[in-house]
Structure 1
Amino acid sequence: MTLNKFEGTGIAIITPFLDNGDVDFDSLHKLVDFQITNGVNYLVVLGTTGEAAALSKEEKAAVINSVIETNNNRVPLVVGFGGNNTREVVAQINQFNSFDKIDAILSVAPYYNKPSQEGIFLHYKEIASASPVPVIIYNVPGRTSVNINADTTIRIANELNNVIAVKEASGNMEQIMQIIKNKPDHFMVISGDDALTYPMIQLGASGVISVIGNAFPNEFSTMVTQALERNNQALQTHYHFFDIIKGIFEEGNPAGVKALLHQKGIILNNLRLPLVPVSESLYKKLHNLKEEINSMA
């Protein structure tokens, strides 16, 4: 199967920090290389997993530039542009001067305000009009307190030509099936839940934007490719990952996956407040689960 640039496995990359709290650009470089050399299809910068909400405007720009430089056009890049102030998101897009070096933006549903479905549609209409690159919408009601329902997603897909996909993290399989059933052919549904990636692909999703892939890029992207090819091995790999995926979210994201990356010697185990590293007991549990995954390789 020939995958287009946003099919397969995208990685919502973490932002590593030094012990003094500054962004650790050396570790970021190491992480980006680790992802690309292990076969992921694309990278997503400044998503929730990247702790974008805790980064300053200047830090965000520096992180984007660092990833662009390290990537060196090896894989497609997606950058997060989201918020609950439509004008501000549009202003950020208008001020961004590196669209020639990225391939799409990811924009989360407006949070906290709890807009109506009409408000959500008009929010994305403004973003799609402003963006010179394709837009992937991100539905994660567990964080935003608002759900982009199936009808609104289909309306966006049909009416906003620049919106090419939805990252669906609602966990609502009936809603996901409604979208897949009724979407136009050009529009993709991408899993936003690592644990639901395999079943969503079986239903017609195009892949995943993954968290666990930060720590296991080769193994998880192989599972996704196998699932897309309807290879029966993918189901076994899905269940191999089931417990560790549950484990990395026990004390919040990205604390769990950062613990795994620390154990692999790629980053320091630091987060920005209000997020904190996982407890010692969970750290040990994740280590044991990691060893189980390694033993299955």
Structure 2
Amino acid sequence: MHAIMIREPGGPENLEWTEVPDPVPGRGEVLIDVAATAVNRADLLQRQGNYPPPRGASEILGLECSGTVAELGEGVEGWQVGDEVCALLSGGGYAEKVAVPAVQLLPVPGEVELTAAAGLPEVACTVWSNVVMLAGLKEGDVLLAHGGAGGIGTHAIQVGKALGATVAVTAGSAERLERCRQLGADIVINYREQDFVEELRSQTKGADVILDNMGAKYLGRNVDALATGGRLVVIGMQGGVKGELNLGKLIAKRGSISATTLRARPVEEKGEIVAAVREHLWPLVERGSVQPVIGQVLPLAEAADGHRALDEGGVFGKIVLMAK
């Protein structure tokens, strides 16, 4: 098969479309003929040599895909050859075929096209596991999602609104904020021009849940933005890895901070998350309340252009790479 490989750590120019051996499904796995995959920020970090795959995972980039089941490994039940699926991966999505544990498969929901479905698994599992399963977002809560114009942000807006929350987002331009508002965001904050703590506090009691991709840079202000009993969930470190935390403020608010990752979790934990997504989130997708937001579609062989586009920050939603 063909796949995108990293010649050496560095820039997008080091991504190469080349032939590699076909994967073979092991026990409990399925082989997927990949229709499309999507670009995630973790892919950029791995390309740079800063985010190696977990032990035993494919060295090929790609944390999600959509496609058709081509082969069932030993012991797999509930799926058939020919089923259209999308999948959460530990790696291997930037290829024409990928083997994945069956518990990480999801059916392509409702009227979603197969190509667009490639942009769902990573954001769906990230948002649902953190915002709902961990932080317990519920109707009437205030959700603040940083990076509202990105893949996770655009998904979080829709999930928050579908669950009856007031949704606030940050983004870097009026155009991107307006598109967030069209997706359902109630409060839109230009982080280049406005203080998100002041804006949020002027319109709400503070955030019950904050989904943060910035890490250290926003740590202190995120605590300031929390409501009493608020939960801050850190899922990224774009703003650095070390920050100063005022424990007095956190205690006074009876707040909590969690920091999570999805890729390195054991298969069993990923399976639990995927099962929860299928049971609770997929009906929202099938009803149209939550949909994939695809900002750009490119051929898989042009993955380097997708990496450049994500790095430049001009794409709204997900970048999808078509294998076929």
TM-score by length of 2: 0.30
More strand by share: 2
Rg larger in structure: 2
